Chains A and B, each alone.
Chain A
Amino acid sequence: MSVIAISAWSHCHGEEIARRVARKLNFRSLGPELLGEVADRWQLPLPKLVAALGKQQTLLGVTPRERRRLLAYLEAAVLEKLAQDKVVTWGLGAHFYVMGVSHVLKVRLVLDWEARVRAMMEEGGMNEAAAAKALKKEDEARARMAHEIYRKQEDDPTLYDLTINLMQIDIEQAVEIVAEAVQHKRFKPMTFSRKLMKDQVLATQVKAELFSRHPDAQVSADGGQVLVTVPAVRRDQEKKISAVRDLARKVKGVASLKVEVVNDFLEEAAESMR
């Protein structure tokens, strides 16, 4: 069976619609409650993980490198769940990293600014100005995350299979539309899409395993064959290959491993100036 990834700004009924679609189709729903599990599994600070997704802000913020690290773990955990099929996911940014997988129906929900501000006022007991300010800050943080990590604009309609305007379509109808759309033959899993998903699961797991020591590693997988490309200065290349091998081999599902090293010109230049 297929997977549904729902994307929406906050206060656009994303969670409600995702949960109702999941109930209707007897799919599992996978939302931000997973963040706690991810934090426990890799011993990550939960507030930072939430902030990395562009949700709430922490006092000191999240550096780009930290964000990449935290999201590498999150992606690995989310993809592992999505590979089990019959899942409706929201609030985890999954639509960014399942772009090419044909059996994932990507849905964008939109609601106008005034309605979102009203929802924020009710939820947070704020006046209109405070709610608008908080919402704007939240949207900016999310947009920054999307650009920084995925080089995408989250509200670009070409990223989605279906966009629903909740000013014109009510929640009940939106649930019906999504549940109906995913049953089209074009969203059925096939050998090609399952393999893509499996390859992505493996690549993200290797990436998560490598991240703390090799944050610049690029990882791809093709049917159990994993390719890691990592920058290193000339004299450290052999050592780096061996270190990457030791870590990547720990990941279940790695049948063969190739490590390619590219010259780290920046580090070499920095060393020559020291």
Chain B
Amino acid sequence: MRRRLGPGFWIAACWILLVLAGALLADLLPIARYDETLAGPPRSGPSADHPFGTDGLGRDVFSRVVHGSRVSLGVGIGAVLLGLAIGGPLGILAGYRRRATDAIIMAFNDVALAFPSLVFALAVVAFAGASLRNVLIVLGVLGVPAWTRLIRGATLSFADREFVLAARVLGVRDSRILWREIMPNVAVPAASYAFIGMAVVVVAEGSLAFLGLSVQAPTPTWGGLINEGRTLMDDAPHVVLAPSLVMFLTVLSFNLVGDRLRALTDVRHSGLEPVRQAPPAAPAAPVHAVGDSLLQVEDLRTHFVTERGLVKAVDGVSFTLERGRTLAIVGESGSGKSMLIRSILGLLPGSGVDRSGNVYLDGDDLTRRTPEEMRHILGPRLGTVFQDPMTALNPVRTIGAQLAEPLRVHLGMNRKQAREEAARLLAQVGIPDPGRMLGRYPHQLSGGMRQRVTIAMALSCGPDVLFADEPTTALDVTIQDQVLRLLHRLREERHMAVVLVSHDLAVVREWADEVIVMYAGKVVERGPTAEIFGRTRMPYTEALLQAAPRLTDPAHHRLRVIPGRPPDLVDLPSGCAFQPRCAHARDRCVTEAPELLEDGHLYACWYPTGSPISEGAESRGR
């Protein structure tokens, strides 16, 4: 927690505490009285006795600034608490009750927000009298609409979560749900906004005081001090500068603290994000022969330097792929399957990543290409389709505009040609009435149609290899079937190669020619689909196959359970990464990591299944 807040937060917090302590203890501090005239020579600059110098009447400016902070902080904190005390409950009520309650509260709120607030404040203070209480109340009440809106928004976003639903099913009363489930979650954004609100109020109070509409002399306020010092700017600028600087630092600190607190509400870090630029790997001389395959990947490694340690997301992957073939990469989450294709495509986060190995497209090494050169390869030669078609499409541009863009950029078509080609592509991916579809926006389409559009975009420049990362995971099964059929048909028609990333072994078995099974960043089994599924050698692949329910199994059939869970990538087990979960593991598996062995296909296991040595031998039995 401390590390994530950063040093800026702590410096700012210390400053606020310092000012606060000064305000509280002003009378006890060994400093001159704020109203004592001729405490020093008038208009003298900073000195040991008067660190901020003296003003026109010889009063100690430091003492006046310290005493002035009472008004500024008092109003700042008081007004924010007042706003929260009124706006908070209203916001929670509106967000949790919704319907009529929400409509009424928010209607009043919108009217209140439309009020010109500073004019209102000036008017009220001018009429009711400029006292600390009046200023505090006016600024507090003016903050209520913003508080209501903020708290309502935060409440709404949590009131829909399943844990609130679960609490209601348990029979928890609304008051307790608000108190135990919603409030702790709303508290962080509220605290963040409170600090930012204090900054706003301190500035507002300063402005009022400058205009003489805050607490009246002789009580010093920061805004009042600046106003007084205005006339002395020429020969005693410190009288203006000292309170200005203190006010500036205080407002800055409130904003900083609020800002850092807000960062806390963001997605929690896993500790696996890259933290720094890794040293570039020395380009090692390739020791492998470059064949004439369409795509050849040699010993590809992608490592991240993270807060928790080195993550070997992809660790020594090699394969070749020919035109007209589909290669499937399977594995569970965290196995590195998606990172592998990002690594091949060079689509990696900018810092903290260390990629080595080679990727050859028709014998041309892509790892030696600059990002600018890669831009001309992605699209025309390598197409990509991702899992979530909604995030892959720009929500505010029409389908037609998005489809035409790569055609115009990469293929140099004019507007009319690009539009015709876009319509042709949409027809090719099975979208009815393509002409009309061009004018639509992504949100007007179903999930299946959106995925067809992203496929059409990936195909627009006629790529040689199509990379599809979980293309059907977000889709219904009947639509999944349609999309997989479409990919297969397009592969045939265009004589492309397809790299299909999937967690679903059944999909892979049905649609792939070759399979790579990944576990903890490494290839653990690789070969033709029929071989992998017909003569499974790696115990992990076998366990995965038996863990998935099948329609032909009887009801209430006990599935094979793989004990434990996928390994922590920064703390891999010694030897074979699967060894702690493997029923066949023996001593050698702990001490020595298996290389890929060849026997019909490749597998990384010392005691493969289906061989006499593992079936006859005694396993460690976990």
**A and B are interacting partners:** no
B residues in contact (CB < 8 Å) with A? none
A residues in contact (CB < 8 Å) with B? none
